Amino acid sequence: MQNFLELIRDCLTDVREIMPWDLEERMAENADLLIIDVREPSEFEAMHIAGSLNVPRGILESACEWEYEETVPELVQARDRELVVVCRSGYRSVLAAHSLQVLGYRNVASLQTGLRGWKDYEQPLQDGAGRDVDLDDADVYFTPRLRPEQMRPAEAPGGTPDVA
């Protein structure tokens, strides 16, 4: 059985990644570039790259085809466009880029380091109303906050989880 990071590594054999400075360059050079943000709508509303298209990971495959409730016409018609897929940290975008390639998209890349890296590179983000997001506020937003139940249980002697 694979874990999440092993799945990502397997997909990376087929998926090209670019860094934030590469995306900045691609945006300047290609006005037809389509940035696909695969985070959830609430994440997109909080902050995103201006001009990006929000297609949550959970509906991506059906959004790429006609005659589905989730169909996104701009995405369906983008099979020959240059696409860069983004998410929070660069993992969901690898999976999404892999799916897009399987579905026939020809020029797809994933943003390595995700929007956290974009922010660290001090590139602009905007909220759902189109207002600039202060990068200090983005720092707070992107700081991981794991709940106790998300932590791995302690291992008891013999390799079984300690549930006491």
Residue 164's pLDDT is 47
Residue 153's pLDDT is 76
- Cα 73 versus chain centre, distance: 20
Q: How many CB atoms lie within 10 A of CB 77?
A: 11
Taking residues 86-106, report their average pLDDT: 96
- Give the pLDDT band of residue 147 (cuts 50, 70, 90): confident
Second CATH level (architecture) for the domain 4-137: 3-Layer(aba) Sandwich (3.40)
Quote the mean pLDDT of the chain.
93
Domain boundaries, the chain: 4-137
Residue 150's pLDDT is 87
Q: Using alpha carbons only, give the angle 36, 19, 96 rounded to the nearest 5 degrees.
A: 35
In this predicted structure, the answer to whether residue 44 has a pLDDT above a threshold of 90 is yes
Q: CB-based contacts of 74: which residues, under 8 Å, 6+ apart?
A: 34, 53
In this predicted structure, the answer to whether residue 145 has a pLDDT above a threshold of 50 is yes
Taking residues 101-108, report their average pLDDT: 96
Residue 11's pLDDT is 86
Residue 160's pLDDT is 55
Euclidean distance between CA atoms 17 and 34, whole angstroms: 15
Report the side by side order of strands in the sheet with 16-18: 16-18, 107-111, 82-86, 34-37, 53-54
